């Protein structure tokens, strides 16, 4: 039976994620705490991994209950902790010093700061898919691929690419449930430059995308609607809530996934 195996949220966009046993689903469909904060430059643009590969060098630990974040530069000796509410200016100064230009930290409690603002629900992938993708690269592990893909819901009890059942032809969405929550699968997630980099060092694997595209094409299940693949650099599924009338607002480890 397809079921939730991992839930991972990323409290600050582009920084390290944390695994949780359950997550509240907001009316926007976002998971509470996921991409709740984002770093911006003076022009109001994201300071994220798409634009600044240096951000991969930041190691972060986030303590949700009291909004404490600890930051350390990879291979650095010093770890510093900040209370985001009472020490926000000190945190921004630390980050500004790291990046070499002024930045601010902003918060959005309604939708967070997702890449896909139209479908801001959980991004879904299967454990078997991550294992399969890792097998395409001699130097990468399942965990390395997991850190590169940065999805929020990981499902098990299914074969590789089972999550591709959660989208259909253009404009046609697939209804499914996670536990008692009714979602719709919208589209396969288009990947960016971030998965081509080592999630810890930022070093680029120049062949990553080429290998990925070729192997994704080769292993695409026969039942998948290829009209959704104008290119094959896509993995995981973007979702929305089918209704804002939430029966049970929490997704938990072990919740079953049911196609409707």
In angstroms, the CA 153 to CA 156 distance is: 10
122: three-class secondary structure by DSSP = coil
CB of 61 closer than 8 Å to CB of 16: yes
In angstroms, the CA 59 to CA 75 distance is: 9
pLDDT of residue 248: 65
- Residues (pLDDT < 70) of the chain are 247-248
pLDDT of residue 19: 97
pLDDT digits (tens, 9 = 90+) for 168-190: 987 788 999 999 999 999 999 99
Torsion region of 179: left, alpha or beta (phi above 0 gives left; psi -120 to 50 gives alpha):
left
Give this prediction's pTM.
Answer: 0.94
Q: Which residues partner with 62 through β-bridges?
A: 69
- Nearest 10 degrees: Cα torsion 54, 7, 251, 122: 40
In angstroms, the CA 201 to CA 53 distance is: 9
pLDDT of residue 171: 72
How does DSSP classify residue 24?
A: E
pLDDT of residue 40: 98
Residue 149: enclosing H or E segment and its boundaries? helix 142-149
């Amino acid at each position: 039976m397809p079921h939730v195996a991992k839930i991972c949220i990323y409290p600050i966009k582009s920084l390290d994620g944390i695994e949780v046993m359950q997550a509240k689903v907001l009316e926007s469909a976002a998971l509470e705490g996921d991409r709740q904060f984002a770093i911006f430059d003076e022009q109001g643009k994201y300071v994220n991994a798409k634009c600044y590969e240096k951000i991969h060098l930041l190691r972060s630990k986030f303590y949700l209950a009291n909004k404490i974040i600890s930051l350390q530069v990879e291979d650095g000796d010093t770890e510093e902790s900040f209370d985001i509410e009472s020490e926000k200016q000190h945190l921004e100064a630390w980050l500004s010093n790291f990046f070499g230009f002024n930045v601010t930290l902003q918060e959005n409690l309604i939708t967070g700061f997702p890449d896909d603002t139209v479908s801001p629900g959980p991004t879904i992938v299967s454990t078997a898919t991550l294992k399969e993708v890792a097998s395409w690269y001699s130097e990468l592990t399942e965990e390395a691929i997991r850190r590169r893909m940065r999805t929020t819901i990981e499902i098990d009890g299914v074969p590789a690419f089972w999550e591709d059942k959660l989208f259909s032809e253009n404009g046609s969405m697939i209804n499914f449930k996670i536990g008692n929550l009714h979602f719709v699968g919208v589209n396969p997630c288009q990947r960016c430059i971030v998965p081509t980099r080592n999630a810890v060092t930022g070093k680029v694997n120049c062949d990553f995308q080429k290998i990925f595209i070729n192997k994704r094409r080769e292993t695409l299940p026969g039942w998948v609607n290829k009209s959704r693949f104008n290119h094959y650099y896509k993995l995981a599924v973007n979702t929305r809530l089918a209704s804002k009338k939430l029966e049970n607002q929490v997704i938990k480890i072990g919740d079953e996934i049911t196609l409707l």
